[in-house]
C-alpha cells in the first residue's frame, strides 16, 4: 500500500510543525532557480532522482512560475560548484540555483533545489521550490516541496507562507486565504485515496498543485506600496524566520552529508539570498 502524506498548508491556522524535522539527519532546506532563459537549464532543473510523476510535476510548476514572473527575474550568478555538488563517497548529491528579482519586482528571489542521499532504509529525495517576496508587499511566499523516503511513501508540502500573524490580522487571512477558497483545495488533497502514487500525482494532485500556483501568481505577485514602518516590521519578521531555518536545518544537516567545505559554499549562497549575515562559522 502506498502512502501519501499531503501537508497542504493553505490555511495558516493549521498546525505548521513537523516539516523541518521529518527527515532530521538528511533534510536540507536549500534552494534554486534558472540561469538565463537563453542558456541550457542548470542541473537543478533536471530533478534526476525523483520518480517520473514527481519530476514532471516539479518541472511543470517551475515552468509556470518562471513564465508568470518572466522578465522580473535576473540571470543566476550561483557558482558551478554550488549549482551541482556531491560528497567524496558519492552517497549524497545536491543541486541549488537562485535567481533574484529585478529592481521593480516584488520578488526577492526564487530558489529551487534537489537533494539525494543514501540512508539506512534506502534513499531520501527532496525537491524544493521556494519563492520569497520582498518588503514592497506583504503577500505570502510560495513553497512547494516533495520529500520521498521510499518508493511507496511521499510527503508533499504546499504552502502559501503568511507574512503577518493572521490571528491579529483577520483582513490578511480573508484576502489571501478565505476569498481564494484555498482551503477547499486542501480538503480535496486530504481526501485523496491511498492508491498508487503515480496515479495520485498525475491525476488530481497535479491539477490542484498547478491551480494553487496560478492563484499565488495572480494574487500575490503585485506591489502593495507598504509604509516604511510596515516594511521594517516585515523585514525583521522574514529575517528572523530565515535565520532560524538556516541555523536549525542547514547548518546542522549539510555538514553531516557533505564535507564542511561543500556545506560552507552552499550555506553561504543561501545566506546571501536570505540576507542573513554570515557569521564566519566553520563546519567541522
**What is the pLDDT, as a whole number, of residue 14?**
35
Per-residue model confidence as pLDDT tens digits over 256-277: 889 999 999 999 999 999 988 7
108 alpha carbon, distance to own chain's centre: 14
**What is the pLDDT, as a whole number, of residue 32?**
34
Count the alpha carbons within 13 Å of 260 in the hemisphere toward its beta carbon: 5
Residue 238 pLDDT > 90: yes
User: Confidence class of residue 225 from pLDDT cuts 50, 70 and 90?
Assistant: confident
Per-residue model confidence as pLDDT tens digits over 34-57: 334 455 667 788 898 888 889 999
Residues 77 and 117: beta-carbon distance below 8 Å: no
**What is the pLDDT, as a whole number, of residue 280?**
60
* Least reliable range by pLDDT among 80-89, 225-234, 274-283: 274-283
Residues 45 and 74: beta-carbon distance below 8 Å: no
Strand 141-150 versus strand 85-86 pairing type? unpaired
**Rounded to whole angstroms, how far apart are CA atoms 208 and 111?**
21
Return all residues near 117 (Cβ < 8 A) that are at least 6 apart: 26, 91, 92, 93, 123, 124, 257
Per-residue model confidence as pLDDT tens digits over 15-34: 333 332 223 233 333 333 33
Average pLDDT for 160-182: 90
Average model confidence (pLDDT) across the chain: 82
Per-residue model confidence as pLDDT tens digits over 99-155: 999 988 999 999 999 999 988 878 889 999 999 999 999 999 999 999 988 777 788
**What is the pLDDT, as a whole number, of residue 185?**
84
Per-residue model confidence as pLDDT tens digits over 174-198: 999 888 888 888 888 777 776 777 8
Sheet of 153-161: strand order equals 3-9, 153-161, 141-150, 122-133, 107-119, 92-100, 85-86
Amino acid at each position: 500500500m502506498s502512502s501519501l502524506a499531503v501537508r497542504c498548508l493553505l490555511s495558516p491556522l493549521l498546525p505548521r510543525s513537523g516539516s523541518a524535522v521529518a527527515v532530521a539527519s538528511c533534510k536540507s532546506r536549500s534552494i534554486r532557480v534558472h540561469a538565463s532563459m537563453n542558456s541550457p537549464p542548470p542541473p537543478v532543473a533536471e530533478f534526476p532522482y525523483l520518480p517520473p510523476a514527481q519530476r514532471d510535476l516539479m518541472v511543470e510548476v517551475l515552468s509556470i512560475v518562471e513564465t508568470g514572473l518572466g522578465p522580473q527575474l535576473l540571470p543566476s550568478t550561483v557558482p558551478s560548484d554550488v549549482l551541482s555538488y556531491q560528497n567524496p563517497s558519492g552517497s549524497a548529491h545536491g543541486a541549488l540555483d537562485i535567481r533574484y528579482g529585478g529592481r521593480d519586482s516584488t520578488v526577492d528571489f526564487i530558489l529551487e533545489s534537489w537533494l539525494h542521499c543514501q540512508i539506512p532504509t534506502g534513499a531520501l529525495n527532496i525537491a524544493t521550490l521556494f519563492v520569497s517576496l520582498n518588503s514592497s508587499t506583504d503577500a505570502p511566499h510560495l513553497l512547494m516541496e516533495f520529500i520521498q523516503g521510499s518508493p511507496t511513501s511521499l510527503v508533499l508540502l504546499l504552502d502559501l507562507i503568511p507574512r503577518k500573524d493572521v490571528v491579529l490580522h483577520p483582513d490578511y487571512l480573508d484576502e489571501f486565504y478565505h476569498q481564494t477558497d484555498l482551503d477547499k483545495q486542501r480538503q480535496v488533497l486530504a481526501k485523496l485515496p491511498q492508491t498508487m502514487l503515480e496515479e495520485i500525482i498525475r491525476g488530481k494532485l497535479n491539477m490542484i498543485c498547478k491551480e494553487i500556483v496560478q492563484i499565488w501568481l495572480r494574487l500575490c505577485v503585485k506591489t502593495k506600496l507598504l509604509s516604511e514602518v510596515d516594511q521594517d516590521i516585515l523585514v525583521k519578521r522574514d529575517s528572523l524566520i530565515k535565520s532560524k531555518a538556516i541555523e536549525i536545518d542547514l547548518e546542522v544537516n549539510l555538514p553531516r552529508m557533505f564535507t564542511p567545505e561543500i556545506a560552507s559554499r552552499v550555506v553561504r549562497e543561501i545566506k546571501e539570498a536570505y540576507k542573513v549575515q554570515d557569521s564566519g562559522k566553520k563546519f567541522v
